[in-house]
Structure 1
Amino acid sequence: MAVRKRRNMTQANVAEKANIARTTYAMIETGERNTSVDIAKKIAQVLNFDWTIFFEQ
C-alpha cells in the first residue's frame, strides 16, 4: 500500500493498469488473498518494484 500511495495511485488505478479486478488487488494488498506469480509480476511492473517481494517471509 505504501508504494501505491507514494505513486499517488488508487487501488483502481493499479488494478486497471495490471489488468486485474480491483477487488482482487484490494484483497492482495490487505493480505486477504495470496497472489500468483503472474499477477505479482503485473502489479510489480505497474508500481515499479521487484515482484519477488510478494513471496518473502
Structure 2
Amino acid sequence: MRHWLVQFRKTKGLTQQQVAEITGISRSYYADIEQGTKGASGKAAKLIANALGFDMNLFFADVGRKTSQKQEVI
C-alpha cells in the first residue's frame, strides 16, 4: 500500500472517487494505484501529483520497493 499517497489524499479531504474525477482516471484504477497493486503511468502520476500537490517522482522512488524477481543462488 502506498500510505504516503493515502495521506496526501486525506490531507486534502478527498475521497478516492473525488481524486479520480479531478484527474479523469477511473476510481478503480486510482484505488489500485493507492493499494500498490498497479503502478501509475507517467500521465496518471502527473495528474495525481498535480491534484494532490506533490512531486510526481514519489511514484518512481525506489524507497521501500520490493521486487518479485527471484534471486539466482550460485
The two structures have a TM-score, normalised by structure 1, of 0.97
Match of 1:20 in 2: 25
Number of equivalent positions: 57
Where 1:9 maps in the other structure, the secondary structure is coil
Deviations 1:3-57 (A, max 9, x none): 1001110000001000000000000001010111110000001001100100001
CA distance in 1, matches of 2:25, 2:38: 14
Q: Which structure dedicates a bigger proportion of its chain to helix? A: 1
The two structures have a TM-score, normalised by structure 2, of 0.75
Structure number with larger C-alpha Rg: 2
Q: Where does structure 1 lack aligned partners over 5 or more consecutive residues?
A: none
CA distance in 2, matches of 1:48, 1:54: 13
Question: 1:8 aligned to 13, 21, 24, which one?
Answer: 13
Aligned-residue CA RMSD (Å) = 0.4
Q: Where does structure 2 lack aligned partners over 5 or more consecutive residues?
A: 1-5, 63-74
